[in-house]
Structure 1
Amino acid sequence: MTVQDVRAFNRFYTNLIGALDYGRHLYAPYTLTEARVLYELAHAADTDAADLRSDLALDAGYLSRILNKFEEAGLIERAPSEKDPRRRRVSLTPGGRSAAGLLDERARESVGSLLGAVDPGERARLAEAMRTIRTILGDGHAPEGSGEVVLREPHPGDLGWIVQRNAALYAAEHGWNTDYEGLVARIVADYAEDHDPHLERTWIAEWAGRPVGCVMCVRDDAPGTARLRLLLVEPEARGLGIGDRLVTAVTEFARGVGYRELVLWTNDVLSAARRIYQRHGFVLTAEKPHRSFGKDLVGQDWRLDLHGTGE
C-alpha cells in the first residue's frame, strides 16, 4: 500500500459521506461538529468537557463555544462532577435528547439507504473490511453494544466461518498460502461429517453478537488422548482473555469425559498461542523444521497430562 492508496480511499469516502448528506439536511440546524458533540453526550453515561475535548480532539475554546450555545438553547445542563468537583459534568436535557434522537434517526435512515444498494451477500464482507480498517489503524474502542464474551456451540454457518477466518488471518498475519486453508477445510469437514458429540466438541467465542474466536477438541489416534485444534481469536478481540477461556473449555471438557492427555501441534511463529498453552500446563515434547503453507516453519508438539501436574 502507498500513500496514494490511502489518499484515494479518503477522497472516495469523503465524497460518499457528502452524498449521504445531500441537501445538507442530515445535521440541520447543527454543524457536523455540533452533531458529533450531541451524539457523544447521548451515548455517554457520565462525561465532562475535558472528556469531550479528548474524545473528539477539539480545541478547548471551540468546544466551550458549542457548549455555551447548547446551554442557551436548553439542550444541555452543567453541574459539578461527582468524580472531580474541579470539573463540570455535562448532560443532555430532555430537549437535548430529543434533538440527538432526531439526528440519530436521520443518520440511520441515510446509512440504511446506502446499505440498501449493497447486495445482501456482500454486506458481511463490507462489515469485515470496515472492522479490519479500524483494527489495523488502532481503533481501541469496543464495538457498539459490546458486552460479555459468550462461549457457545456452533450455529449453522459457523464451521464455514472457522475455515474462512483461519485462512484469511493466517494469510494476513503470517503470509501462509491456500495450503493452510485446505488443511483447515479437511479438519472441519471431518468433524462435520463424523464426530462423537460425547467425546468431541467445538466452541465459538461470541462478542457483540458475532463470532470472534474458536477452538476444537477431537479424538486423537492414540488411545485416551484428545487433540486441541484450530484455536483462533480475532485481532480486535485479543487482550480480553478469550484464548485462555477457549483453552480452559477444551481442557475441562477433555478431563470431564475421561481423556488422560491432551495434545496439540502448532508452529513456533505463533508465540501468543504458545504462551497460552504454557499457562495451562502444556509441555513442549518435540520440534521439527518443515516446509508448509509456503513458509519454512518449525512445528511443535505439546502435551498436557490431564490427571497429573502437566510436567
Structure 2
Amino acid sequence: MSNYIVIFIDKQLAMPDMNNLADTILNFNGFYEEIAALLNNHRTRQPLSGAELRILYEIARGNHPNAGQLATATGTDPGYLTRIVRSLQQQGLIIRIPAPTDARSFTLGLTPDGEALLTTLHQESREDILRLIAPLSQQQQNQLGAAMNTIRRLLGKDQDSAGEGIIFRNNILPGDIGYLIHLHGDLYAREKEYNLEFEAYVCKTFYEFVASYSPAKDRLFLATEGGKIIACVAILGAGRLAQLRWFLVHPDYRGRGLGKKLLTDALAFCKEKQFQTVYLMTTSMQTSAIALYKQMGFRKTGEKLLQLWGQQLYEQRYDMDLM
C-alpha cells in the first residue's frame, strides 16, 4: 500500500512544476507580444497585412518555391493563399515564373520592388532592436541572445538555426579554466557517477597545462554560446608527439556536430605543427566519444583494468599517425 502512496505523492509533486512552466510560458508569451508590437510599429507605415508580410518573407527565403508547398509550410488555406499571392502580384512585389517543363506549374519569386521593401523593413527592424537593447551591457546582450537561441532550439523545428549564436575560439580567457574544471566535475559526476577524485585529477591536469602552456605547441579549442563554454578539446604538444585531452560537449548541444568540428580543428592544428603522432587516454565508459575517435581515424593501442574515480573501468589508449 505504501508503494502506491509514494507514487501518488510523486505525481502530485510533479504537477505543480508543469503548471508553473505552463504559467511561465504564458506570461512570457504576453510579454513577447508587447515586444513584438513595439518592434512592428514601423510596419503600420506600409499597406501590407501581417499575412501578406509572412508570405512575402517565406517567398524571399526560397524554401517553398510553389504555392502548394507554401500553403503547407505556413498552414495557410490554399484558397486564402491564392488571394494573397494575387494581391502581392498586383502590387508588383512578386512574380510567377512558369516551370520550363510544365507551363501549368510555376515558382514564386520577388520583384525588385519586393526585394527593396523587405530590405527597408529589415533595416527598420534592426534599428528598432538596437534601440531596444542599447541600455543592456555586453554581457546582458550575450545572455539575451543565448536565451533566444535556446528557446528556438528547444521548441523550434528549424534545424538550420541549430548552430546560430555558437562561436569557436582558441584563445584562453580569465575564467575559462575554472569553468572547464567545473564542467568536467559536474557532468562526469552526473553521467558516469565519478567521485571527487576525478575533479581533483582534472584540477591537477589543468594546473599542469596552464603552468607549461605555449601557443607554439599547445592549443585549447572552445565552442561558446552567449559567452558560455559548451564544448572543448585540447592539444598538448611534446616534441613530435601530441596528446588530445579534455574532449567534452555539453549534453544540451550533443548531436549537432560540435564534437566533430572541434576534433577536426584539433587534428588540423596537429598537422600544422607537424606532430608525428597524436594520442588520447579515455575509458571504456566513453562509448560515444570512442565511436567518434574511431571515425576520425584513431586506433586502440592499449587497455588495462583499473579502479578509478569510484568506478572499476578499462583505461584505454588510442593513437593516430599523422606522418
Shared fold per TM-score greater than 0.5? yes
Q: Deviations over 1:254-295 (max 9, x none)?
A: 8x3345x61323561x43211011222331613545447xxx
The reply to whether residue 303 of structure 1 matches residue 303 of structure 2 is no
Note closer, same or farther for the CA distance 1:169–1:137 as it changes in structure 2 (3 Å cut): farther
Q: What's the CA shift string for 1:158-213, capped at 9, x where partnerless?
A: x7557647855985798369967876666555434422444333345699xx9875
- Taking the aligned partners of 1:169 and 1:60, their CA distance within structure 2 comes to 53
Aligned to 1:199, which of 217, 220, 225? 217
Tell me what 1:249 maps to: 268
Contact 1:162-1:214 within 8 A present in 2 as well: no
Is the 2:64–2:70 Cα contact (8 Å) retained in structure 1?
Answer: no
Unaligned runs of 5+ in 2: 1-16
- Output the CA distance in 2 between the equivalents of 1:142 and 1:169: 29
Larger Rg: 2
Distance 1:226 1:246 in 2: 14
For residue 276 of structure 1, what is the aligned residue in structure 2?
Answer: 292
The offset of 1:297, in angstroms, is 8.1
Q: Which residue of 1 aligns with 2:10?
A: none
Separation of aligned partners in 2, 1:54 and 1:112 = 34
Aligned residues: 294
- DSSP-derived class of the 1:2 partner: helix
- In structure 1, C-alpha distance between the alignment counterparts of 2:211 and 2:179, rounded to whole Å: 18
Cα–Cα, structure 1 residues 142 and 189, in superposed 2: closer, same or farther, change >3 Å?
Answer: farther
* 2:86 matches 1:68: yes
CA RMSD of aligned residues (A): 4.4
1:67-118, CA deviations, whole angstroms, 9 ceiling, x for partnerless residues? 1211111111111246976642111112211221222123222322332233
Which of 215, 236, 239 does residue 218 from structure 1 map onto? 236
For 1:79, the equivalent position in structure 2 comes to 97
Alignment of 1:89-104 (within 5 A): 89-104=107-122
In the alignment, residue 19 of structure 1 is paired with which amino acid? I
Distance 1:204 1:168, change over 3 A: closer
- Normalised by the length of structure 2, the TM-score is 0.69
1:262 is aligned to 2:240: no
Contact 1:219 1:225 in 2 (8 A): yes
CA distance in 2, matches of 1:219, 1:189: 16
Is the helix fraction higher in 1 or 2?
2
Q: Secondary structure at the match of 1:39?
A: helix
Amino acid at match of 2:160: A
Which sections of structure 1, spanning at least 5 residues, go unmatched?
none
Match for residue 229 of structure 1 among 227, 242, 245? 245
Output the CA distance in 2 between the equivalents of 1:274 and 1:91: 47
